[in-house]
Amino acid sequence: MTMRVARWYNNRDVRLEEMPTPQIGPGELLVRVEASGICGSDVMEWYRLSRGPLVLGHEIGGEIVAVGEGVTKYKAGQRVTAAHHVPCNTCHYCLSGNHTVCETLRQTNFDPGGFAEFVRLPAINVDRGVFPLPDDVTYEEATFVESLACVLRGQRRARLAPGQSVLVMGSGITGLLHIQAARALGAGRIIATDISDYRIYAAKKFGADFVIHADYCTADCLRQFNDGRLADLVIVCTGATSAIARALELVERGGTVLLFAPTGPDVTIPVSINNVFWRNDVTLTTSYAGSPADYAAALALIRARRVPVADMITHRLTLVETGLGFQLVAEAKASIKVIIEPQRQP
């Protein structure tokens, strides 16, 4: 038995191919993929090319169609989302609360990926990374669980506190999720920037109190929107080095800068230790991925409509159109969230 997949060779070359449908073993699940989101990390060619060609896709919603021997928690016909990376829960990193740097987490994945008609979930993913979908959460909404989980972990690492002012630099899908999550978690004034008028409009639509074009977001400009102060928390959702340097100028004394997006390879940023860190007591931190607990929290927020995600979807494409989806996300112009629906025919 074969299935259709969209195999990525590069951002301009995504091919519809066939491969054998995965066969499951003990403890495993086979999931029919109903929706799979294209993540910004999917289009990072410098990160992917050496390992290609690949069937990508890690933001999924689907239905269990086969259950391996020994699985008792799940059954065929159940609607689920799942974590593609899961931790061991017993190593030094996991026991220290740093699940996303666990070696097991870095080695686990779907087989083959979400841009396919079916995926096999290995036993370890089934054990600690499957999340049943409530009836009032759609497959499309389920594709946001992974990315929102990453956002929640980032804001936790940045120690976001109620009432704090937040500046989100970069208003693509992760920036918009940061805006909505910060609002749901009790942030005070939220300000967003971008270089794209389309995304500036989206930031305002999805909850920012004020929006500023990135070219004009200086310290003096920010103070005008924030009662004379800089931002308590600056979240950088772009890998542009100019944005990172600007973030260090826009954070308030005692505040935090969260570098949420990766830069290109081998990028270094010069920083004045005395003026930024020692003198102003600024915290600089990063965040990668999310833990199973973050997935559960993300799903709960989506279900409660505290983070309403459905309106962020701008494109719903078939598996045949996956190449177009990659172009839309890579260009980062007139799109927010691009969803691939593997079961839908052209």
pLDDT digits (tens, 9 = 90+) for 189-239: 999 999 999 999 999 999 999 999 999 999 999 999 999 999 999 999 999
Tokens of 189: 């004034």
97-140 per-position pLDDT tens digit? 999 999 999 999 999 999 999 999 999 999 999 999 999 999 99
Please tell me what DSSP assigns to residue 43.
Answer: G
Q: Do domains 2-149+290-341 and 159-286 have the same CATH topology?
A: no
| First and final C-alpha spacing in the chain | 21
Distance between CA atoms of residues 217 and 223, nearest Å: 10
Residue by residue, DSSP assigns 111-152 as: BS-SSBSEEEE-HHHHHHSEEEPPTTS-HHHHTTHHHHHHHH
The confidence score (pLDDT) of residue 23 equals 97
Contact 230/251 with Cβ under 8 angstroms? yes
Structure tokens at 331: 């260009």
**CA-based radius of gyration for the chain:** 20
Phi, psi of 163 (to 5 degrees): 90, -10
Task: For residues 170-176, give the mean pLDDT.
Answer: 97
Question: What is the per-residue pLDDT for 270?
Answer: 87
What is the predicted pLDDT for the residue at 257? 98
- Mapped onto helix, strand or coil, the DSSP state of residue 175 is helix
* pLDDT tens track for 292-305: 999 999 999 999 99
pLDDT(276) > 90:
no
Q: Whose CA is closest to 134, among 339, 290, 299, 308?
A: 299
**292, 128 contact by CB (below 8 A):** yes
pLDDT at 250: 98
The chain-wide mean pLDDT, for the chain, equals 96
Q: Given this model, what pLDDT does residue 275 score?
A: 85
Q: What is the mean pLDDT of residues 159-168?
A: 98
Is residue 114 within 8 A of residue 36, CB to CB? The reply is yes
Pairing of strands 283-286, 210-213: unpaired
Instruction: Determine whether 163 is exposed, middle or buried from the number of CB atoms within 10 Å of its CB (0-12, 13-18, 19+).
Output: exposed
The pLDDT tens digits of the residues spanning 43-68 come to 999 889 889 899 999 999 999 999 99
Predicted local distance difference test score (pLDDT) of residue 138? 98
Residues whose CB falls within 8 Å of the CB of residue 237, separated by 6 or more in sequence, listed in order: 168, 169, 170, 171, 172, 174, 175, 178, 260, 261
Segment 76-88 shows an average pLDDT of 98
Share of the chain above pLDDT 90, in %: 93
Q: How far is CA 304 from CA 186, 187, 202, 298, 309, in A?
A: 15, 18, 22, 10, 11
Tokens coding 160: 């976001």
- What's the CATH superfamily of 2-149+290-341? Medium-chain alcohol dehydrogenases, catalytic domain (3.90.180.10)
pTM of the model: 0.96
Spans of all domains in the chain: 2-149+290-341, 159-286
Question: Domain 159-286's class?
Answer: alpha beta
Q: What is the mean pLDDT of residues 245-270?
A: 94
146 close to 337: Cβ distance less than 8 angstroms? no
